[in-house]
Structures are given as structure tokens and as C-alpha cells.
Structure 1
């Protein structure tokens, strides 16, 4: 999780202390916000934490799709699997 008191640095500071800050990223797993002229411009994160973030985002999208399908089913939309497969096999013949 981002700690606003520790995880915001200037790009200039990051350039000067890259090795130290990268080691800190790996150790804490906290992203680092880099500023340019006092404005947030970049977020730097270790690869393992970034992959975990991508996995979580993919899971959220999957769950949203499942929920959408369940909601459609409750509303009487869609069709049975048997109907779908019969149509698919008819098209393949």
C-alpha cells in the first residue's frame, strides 16, 4: 500500500539514489510515486507486485463477467447450453 509520507519522491532524487530506492521497492513492495516539478508523473513498482496487481485486475474483470452473466440469466436472457451446442453443431455440418 502507498505511504504518502515515504513513497513520494522527485524524479531527480530517484535518479540520484536509484540503487537504494530500487532495493527499498523490492523490500517493501510499496510503489513509488515520482514527481516532476512537484506533480505526480510516474509510478515505479517492483515486478512481483506489479504482476500481483495485474492478476487482481484480471480476477476483477472475470468476476464482473460472471456477475453480468448471472444477472442476465436471472432476467431470463440467454439460452440453454443444449440450445447453444445444437446450433453450433448444426453450423459445423
Structure 2
């Protein structure tokens, strides 16, 4: 499918809403809606939207982790596992 197939004028959205819903659910591809020849919005099915949101959330976590590493705000892996082992030993004593 070509990019042009994913770009439609707002009049198409108004007249073909039911078909758009079916097509988006089947393909998972977003539809770009134009008004006066200018892209104004993107329409996508809920499943694709939720997947995009989950991907963005993971990317934010990765960026936060990288920022913490860059700032030296982290614990060496061996130290971390040593701390976990110590906590485990303390739990077993109780």
C-alpha cells in the first residue's frame, strides 16, 4: 500500500466512517486526514494506539534509565545482587 492510500481528505472521513473503522481494524495502519490540503489528524484503531502508547512508555523508561546511568545514579550489577543476597539471608533468619 502506498502512502497516498493512507492520506484522505476530511470529506472522506465524514462519508466513509464505517468503512474506515473496518479498514483500520483489519490493517492496523493509521489514516492521515487532511483539511484544505494540510494534514490535520491521524486516525488509528484502538489496538494500534495502545501498542504505540506501550512502546512510548517503554522508551520513556529506557531514557530515564540512561539518564540515571549518565548521572552516575546507579549500582553495579554485582553490588546489586550482593544486596539482594543479603536481604534474602536476613529474611531467612526471621
Please tell me whether the aligned partners of residues 8 and 34 of structure 2 are also in contact (alpha carbons under 8 angstroms).
yes
1:57 paired with 2:56, answer yes
Aligned length: 77
What is residue 32 of structure 2 aligned with on the other side? 33
Unmatched runs of 5 consecutive residues or more in structure 2: 84-94
Return the TM-score normalized by structure 1: 0.74
TM-score by length of 2: 0.73
Equivalence for 1:9: 8
Alignment map for 1:78-89 (pairs within 5 Å): 78=73
- Quick check: which one's helix share is greater? 2
- Name segments (4+ residues, structure 1) moved above 2 Å: 78-82
Q: Secondary structure at the match of 1:30?
A: coil
